[in-house]
Structure 1
Amino acid sequence: MIPIPAIEKANRETIKRFQEEKLRELMAYLRRHSAYYQRLFSAHGIAWDAIRSLEDLAQVPVTTKDDLHRENQAFRCVDSSQVADYVTTSGTSGDPVLLALTDSDLNRLAYNESLSYQCMGMSAGETIQLTTTMDRRFMAGLAYFLGARMAGIGIVRVGSGVPELQWDTVARVRPDAVVCVPSFLLKMIEYAEANGIDYQQSSIKKALCIGEPLRTPDFALNPLARRIRSKWDIQLFSTYASTEMATAFTECAHGVGGHHHPELIIAEFLDEDNNPVPEGEPGELVITTLGVAGMPLLRFKTGDIVQPHYEPCACGRTTMRLGPVIGRKNQMVKYKGTTLYPPALFDLLNDVEEVENYLIEISLDEFGEDEITVKVGSHAISDELLLRIKDRFRAKLRVSPKIVFVSVQEINRIKFPENSRKAITFIDYR
């Protein structure tokens, strides 16, 4: 098994000194190569040499996704001849943003995902099945492929969808684990049950789950994860990542948050005024990438509200752990005096067995107030089910949104649009 890097087992003061040394290297690199940060520092009268500690970062204005989109070329620190690969963000929260990666960035990406495999206890000589696409400028599929190569783990690239092909590959190759969106595991289970496949006896014992959360803020399995585990007794590992930060926070077998890799990224947690929140409280994750050559980012706002945890983990790591995403800042809903984030709605619906699929739509009513419409797909439509869902919303979230039944097929058509890399479960018309 890949060993845990020494810096990830160090005390907090050692990690801080290590990150500050990397930060000073980043400042020197941006000063020489980044047109965007050169202009930013000049416009705000910031001395490059003044940014030496983690606390000094507060002097630097944050970078937003709009900045990255609007001045994309100014962020690039290398000539086009040095770019080895281009990727874009998924575009689920706006237009896709282009990012350029050098050879060293691809090596960094491989190192990052080799650590993800280490967290889930995989070793050289094992095999993983990838259900993530490697085309359409998608970073994740490439990252997991490169990470497996670095870790000496065998790979079978099946790509997204097609449960029949997934199970045929499992039978032929007998992989030890799978990388997938967790809700797709339910589709694999459904196909297996319909076609007499004994999935309980399959070679797959672990799943690295991307794109959807598996845990509640207290680290209990959420309804989606419980639904999977009630059918299929495999280990589920949650991960959090984004294209912009080219870094993943993956949980270990102890399941108490995604592990921070301080050699790859500096993490801050800010409030709505871009000030640090008290330690251990939820805040918007703001990141500074370390070791990135193509398009390094300084104080980039992810838009995700998360809670950090600082107690050492039983796996041996002493680094910060990241709780599940509470919500995206731009997806906050204020409904009849209650503040909600979509994940709370998802968890509630995932916990109703008769609900096959769903969409959450947010719009503005005639008074300019947020309006929630929940479209539910089910093969067991009834007044009793409608009342039960409404009662659960009132009991759990103290709200009663509009709920309408729609065919399972119609929701799937919207949820899985052609050429989309992610399932759509939340549509914001505001």
Structure 2
Amino acid sequence: MIPAIEKATSQEINALQEQKLQETLAYLSEKSPYYKALFTREKINIKSVKTIKDLQQLPTTSKTDLQVDNEAFFCVPMHEIIDYATTSGTLGSPVTFGLTDKDLDRLAYNEAISFACAGIQKGDVVQLMTTLDRRFMAGLAYFLGLRKLGAGIIRVGAGIPELQWDSILKYKPKYLIAVPSFLLKMIEYAENRGIDYNASSVKGVICIGESLRNQDFSPTVLAEKITSKWDLQLFSTYASTEMSTAFTECEYFQGGHQHPELIITEVLDDNDNPVAEGESGELTITTLGVEAMPLLRFKTGDIVKLHTSPCACGKNTPRVGPVIGRKQHMIKYKGTTLYPPAMHDLLTYFEGVQSHLIEISSNELGTDEILIRIASNNPSEELLNHIKDHFRAKLRVSPKVEFVAKDILNNIIFAPESRKPITFIDKRA
């Protein structure tokens, strides 16, 4: 189910995107209260925007714009909204997204071709280990995409290793959709109960929410820790509620493939100019074919590199590399620039760390401070020093680290009102 456009020439892909861009601009100028006002205020003639490069004539849209003026982004009357979803609120107040019937079809198509990119085929059985409730778009998208692809779906939801293994042993799924760190709990549960996980039916996992690759596409510590025990293929994905589109790895694991018929990508510097080829910057997207809440040059807040060399799988689409970090989460600590994903991955290295929480704050001088709170089944000064030494070796700096009781820490990490585990808290103003 790989669309022909993804194997077309770059010129053909560009031509399709430019046609769809002009359709999107015409739609926004007619239907979107927000963009209609923006075009008038900035005296923008949308007919002058004909190419992808011409996008630079247009202002960007930020998460703050969505939070401040959420309703103005809706392009359809509310009675046409079939599903309501909200962003997770990681970088501020959650934003409501409505999806029409057409948008749900687009979402299903997006996930079907994304799963096909990772090798899932009609007739495969897939265990869905993420929630469909709590206004969470991703879980619904996975279900719709697998259904469109013709795969069997086991809707187990998040957590509960016992139920996960019960379903695996009973229904024999070939693939799982899961947060990768939870696979370590699955392995631990299996080992404690004599389950031979390498003899199970599971051959691959579509991983969400955590990074599996370093910038050179080598596996992270987390990925190595999983695959050193469980012989699996781990496929990395990148997506967000705002883009209603996923970037998924193929079997060559060289970044998440873009679906050119669904989205336009730019990588911008701090002045909203395109970065040079191979440089990192903020991923900025324009959605194509969205009916209820299309977005134009929306800045995702994620720092990435775009890879444009042809992939061995035959697709000529650009690929989004591993997320370096969230722009708002950048930390300047003792002269070194850090992002939380690198610290999360380093902490995965230690068997003695059961769970962790990274807190960032500002000191009286206005500079960043890092506190890492750790729960361990065997807390010791030796482990503390080992962690600090490992940070110095890998990141050149050593943050403050302290032990916390597991139940106290887990009450913060697994807050009942949050859809995702909270492992990073930014207390800076």
Q: TM-score, normalised by structure 2?
A: 0.98
Report how far residue 353 of structure 1 moved.
2.6
| Match in the other structure for 1:87 | 85
Aligned CA-pair RMSD: 1.0
| Match in the other structure for 2:49 | 51
| Match in the other structure for 2:157 | 159
* Separation of aligned partners in 2, 1:400 and 1:152: 49
Opposite residue 320 of structure 1, the aligned amino acid is: P
| Match in the other structure for 1:283 | 281
1:22-61 CA deviation, whole Å, 9 max, x = no partner? 0011011111101100100111111121111111111111
| Match in the other structure for 2:216 | 218
Establish whether residue 17 from structure 1 lines up as the match of residue 15 from structure 2: yes
2:314 to 306, 316, 338: 316
| Match in the other structure for 1:188 | 186
| Match in the other structure for 1:415 | 413
2:72 to 48, 71, 74: 74
Report how far residue 419 of structure 1 moved.
3.0
2:29/2:39 contact within 8 Å kept? no
Report how far residue 343 of structure 1 moved.
1.0
1:132 to 106, 120, 130: 130
Establish whether residue 262 from structure 1 lines up as the match of residue 266 from structure 2: no
354-363 or 323-332: bigger deviation: 354-363
* Separation of aligned partners in 1, 2:290 and 2:298: 14
* Identical counterparts, % of pairs: 60
Report how far residue 255 of structure 1 moved.
0.6
Any residues of structure 2 matched to 1:17-416 within 5 Å, and which? 17-416=15-414
* Separation of aligned partners in 1, 2:178 and 2:392: 33
Match of 1:312, SS?
Answer: coil
Opposite residue 280 of structure 2, the aligned amino acid is: P
* Separation of aligned partners in 2, 1:347 and 1:272: 27
* Separation of aligned partners in 2, 1:142 and 1:327: 26
Q: TM-score, normalised by structure 1?
A: 0.98
* Separation of aligned partners in 1, 2:396 and 2:38: 45
* Separation of aligned partners in 1, 2:346 and 2:186: 22
**Unaligned residue ranges in structure 2 (runs of 5+):** none
Opposite residue 165 of structure 1, the aligned amino acid is: L
User: Number of residue pairs matched?
Assistant: 428
* Separation of aligned partners in 2, 1:380 and 1:176: 36
**Unaligned residue ranges in structure 1 (runs of 5+):** none
349-358 or 304-313: bigger deviation: 349-358
* Separation of aligned partners in 1, 2:48 and 2:75: 21
* Separation of aligned partners in 2, 1:265 and 1:279: 19
* Separation of aligned partners in 2, 1:254 and 1:407: 41
* Separation of aligned partners in 1, 2:310 and 2:352: 40
* Separation of aligned partners in 2, 1:135 and 1:183: 21
Report how far residue 405 of structure 1 moved.
1.3
| Match in the other structure for 1:425 | 423
1:350-397 CA deviation, whole Å, 9 max, x = no partner? 122322221110011121111000112222222221111111111111
* Separation of aligned partners in 2, 1:408 and 1:307: 37
* Separation of aligned partners in 2, 1:313 and 1:356: 38
* Separation of aligned partners in 1, 2:257 and 2:319: 5
Report how far residue 310 of structure 1 moved.
0.8
